[in-house]
């Protein structure tokens, strides 16, 4: 077994892939590898590579978390806007009903006055 930092570049790349697979909870390229084989590969990985991988993962997590918070804020604002729009829609529908009722009353008056005018002209 190699000591920390005593691996070749090619071995470090394959070990890094194994570490990523282990951290992500996924499987490596070869589905036949077992968890113990991955653990062995991670043990042989260099400490600086693992630290770099860990800090990169933390940075990625922080970016995703910040974006998630931003999206939650945007969603919250959109929900408020939707609520306001729904309230406005209900108010406008109510006003529309009132106007339709007023229009019908005006038509009735118009018909009444037109009938009276016709009767006055006929007499």
At 73-94, the pLDDT tens digits run 999 999 999 999 999 999 999 9
> What are the φ/ψ torsions at residue 31 (nearest 5 degrees)?
-70, -15
Quick check: 65 pLDDT over 70? Answer: yes
15-20-24-26 Cα dihedral, nearest 10 degrees = -50
pTM of the model: 0.49
Q: How far is CA 80 from CA 67, 76, 85, in A?
A: 20, 6, 9
**pLDDT value at 25 more than 60:** no
Give Cα separations from 16 to 2, 49, 57, 62, 120 (angstroms). 15, 7, 12, 21, 101
Q: Is the pLDDT of residue 26 over 80?
A: no
Answer yes or no: is pLDDT of 34 > 80.
no
């Amino acid at each position: 077994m190699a000591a920390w930092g005593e691996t070749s570049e090619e071995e470090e790349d394959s070990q890094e892939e194994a570490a990523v697979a282990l951290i992500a909870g996924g499987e490596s390229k070869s589905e036949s590898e077992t968890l113990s084989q991955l653990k062995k590969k991670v043990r042989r990985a260099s400490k600086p590579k693992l630290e770099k991988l860990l800090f990169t993962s933390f940075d990625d997590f922080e970016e995703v978390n910040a974006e998630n918070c931003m999206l939650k804020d945007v969603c919250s604002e959109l929900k408020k806007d939707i609520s306001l729009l729904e309230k406005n829609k209900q108010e406008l529908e109510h006003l529309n009903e009132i106007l339709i009722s007023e229009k019908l009353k005006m038509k009735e008056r118009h018909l009444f006055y037109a009938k009276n005018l016709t009767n006055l002209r006929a007499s």
